[in-house]
Chains A and B, each alone.
Chain A
Amino acid sequence: MSVLVIAEHDNKNLKVFSLNTINAASKIDVDIHVLVAGHKCENVCKEIATIPLVKKVLHSDSVNYENYLAENLTPLVVKLANKYTHIIASANTFGKNFMPRVAALLDLSQVSDVIKINGPDNFVRPIYAGNAFATVKSNDKKKCITVRPTSFDPAPTSGGSAPIEKIDAVEVPNISKFIKKEETKSERPELGTARVVISGGRGMQSGDNFKLINAIADKLNAAVGASRAAVDAGYISNDHQVGQTGKVVVPDLYIAVGISGAIQHLAGMKESKIIVAINKDGEAPIFSIADYGLEADLFEALPQFLEELNKLNTIQK
């Protein structure tokens, strides 16, 4: 057996979820190769070579791979696939976008969003927004898998020295073109990996009111999340959405503010270690999964929260 991991990167650095995916791959077999398809991405290859779990880095450079167009990346992965029993990527918008294309061209049924690997063909995955866990056995000869990064620890990153092998780029179909990417720049930690997340929902009432959330996020070095209702209402951009079709987060502390707790939102945060809910509706479903619930008007509670946190710091000093 051998496993091919498709690395996610920005041509400069490896995205951290690739480390979780490499660790997940190690639950299948020790023979792990990582494909870095990109443009001028030598640094990413060097980074991956130092990961002890990685046996070989495959580096394919082409301007066609610069923006990870699924149409362009797929033929390369399909060509490499014959040497591997498993092809793995993260179940985020990177892996979800191209992996089913690879599976379809290889006539394989993909196993999506795996949260536990019981063996080379036996996987656990959430269904119905995480309201049920299905244990499945793939009967395909080869497996295409996406894994939920937050369900696996990241692979250690130093001490390895895997060889880097150059792979020729393959012809691309030229049917799609990258136009632009609008990234939200933030000094705060990334939502997917932050130790603390504070999220706002419809109860925030406006985008401007998110400044109350931001102030606490800055204090706790937290990432800012949101429910779909808040994103739909235009209070905050889509990359903050936590939930069934947004991001799945598992921080040590998740603070849900003005979020009622629809099952679609719970699907994205209910594995968090400690959950705090602040909501003025005492009957809100979010309270049924919260470790600490505070029934209060968020517009009074959030400034007080910040004040209490400031006091704490004073005591610590």
Chain B
Amino acid sequence: MKILVAVKRVIDYNVQIRVKEDGTGVHTDNVKMSTNPPDDNAVEEAVKLKESGKAKEVVAITIGEEKAQETVRKALAVGADRGIHVKADSYIEPLGVAKILKKVIEKEKPDIVFMGKQAIDDDCNQTGQMLSAMLGWPQGTFTSKIEVKDKSMLVTREVDEGLETLELNLPAIVTCDLRLNEPRYASLPNIMKAKKKPIEQLVAKDLGVDIANRIQQLKVEEPPKRKGGIKVANVAELVSKLKNEAKVI
């Protein structure tokens, strides 16, 4: 069994986002970047499948500028076997990303593709579903548990009402929730070893797929700020304020 894991480089989840004054986007210069958090869970799950003997090879792929390779390198350091970096200099919408991944998947022929359920930058929550539709494969979105069988897999999905379990024929796409597993940290020796693992270089615009963006970003602005409130001295004062001032109880 072969696994492909897609990872994305995003602004680190701990960074306080600053909107640019000219409304063209958010500040990214000198800002800490990391792997999109649920993509770490995707890598971890793939590596676990390899360690359990179910998977033979784990391939990590990213699409983005030169530095996006760091995310693939990190996946290699925790146990992926080889990497693919599809170079792209500017933002590509999920539709274009899915088309690129489809192109690579047709060549790599993985049995399962893992990726995070959502990227924490554009918050689109689309790529896995789009890719799965384009390939005609089943999907397990928002997945917090998997069980791989011979020709199918069970996925437990976190849905609004609780948990839902589906059986998907393989090959399948799985988009991972943060609760799927606990991503490991790479050890120093493994980080060194990862430097020797191969990363294949591809160029997005040479893949023969239409990746032109369809959505124009007109402006980006700060959301209305909440005014800071007051501290109350005790519970009695709190209840009195809620009752008489805010009138919400």
Contact = CB atoms under 8 A, between A and B. Distances in A.
Contact of A287 (B16, B142, B231, B246): B231
A180 to B, nearest CB: 5
B214 interface: yes
B169 A175 contact: yes
A145 to B, nearest CB: 11
Contact of B136 (A128, A137, A139, A173): A173
B52 interface: no
A139 B132 CA distance: 24
B106 interface: no
B133 A291 contact: no
Given A129-B120, A292-B241, A312 B249 contact: yes
B149 interface: no
B133 A101 contact: yes
B35 interface: no
Interface stretch (A23-31, A68-76, A161-169, A204-212): A68-76
B124 interface: yes
Given A133-B220, A177-B166, A244-B123, A305 B141 contact: no
Residue of B134, B141, B169, B249 most packed against chain A (CB within 10 A): B249
A147 interface: no
B239 A308 contact: yes
Contacts of A135: 217-221
- Chain A residues touching B, range: 35 or more
B94 interface: yes
Interface stretch (A42-50, A53-61, A92-100, A151-159): A92-100
Residue of A71, A183, A245, A288 most packed against chain B (CB within 10 A): A245
A50 to B, nearest CB: 24
Contacts of A117: none
Given A100-B129, A175-B169, A292-B238, A139 B216 contact: yes
A231 interface: yes
Given A104-B129, A110-B126, A112-B126, A245 B178 contact: yes
Given A111-B215, A239-B161, A253-B249, A312 B239 contact: yes
B223 A131 contact: yes
B123 A309 contact: no
Contacts of A175: 136-138, 168-169
A274 B235 contact: no
Contacts of A71: 138-139
Contact of B162 (A137, A238, A263): A238
Interface string B223-241: 1001011111011101101
A62 interface: no
Given A128-B26, A228-B178, A276-B242, A176 B231 contact: no
B46 interface: no
Main secondary structure of the interface of B (DSSP, over half): mixed
A252 B38 CA distance: 31
A309 B239 contact: yes
Contacts of B214: 108-109, 138-140
Given A112-B125, A175-B137, A308-B236, A94 B164 contact: no
Contacts, number: 261
Nearest to A309: B239
Given A135-B218, A301-B235, A292 B230 contact: yes
A295 interface: yes
A60 to B, nearest CB: 19
Contacts of A296: 234-235
B235 A74 contact: no
Contacts of B26: 128, 131-132
Contacts of A176: 138-139, 166-169
Contact of B130 (A100, A139, A245): A100
A70 B138 CA distance: 8
A104 B166 contact: no
A134 interface: yes
Contacts of A107: 95
A138 B123 contact: no
A182 interface: yes
Contacts of A132: 17, 19, 26, 220-223
23 contacts: A93-B141, A93-B157, A93-B158, A96-B125, A97-B129, A105-B133, A112-B126, A131-B19, A131-B222, A132-B221, A133-B223, A136-B217, A139-B214, A180-B165, A181-B163, A245-B117, A252-B248, A264-B13, A282-B231, A292-B230, A304-B234, A308-B236, A309-B239
Given A70-B129, A274-B242, 5 more contacts: A104-B131, A109-B95, A263-B13, A273-B248, A288-B228
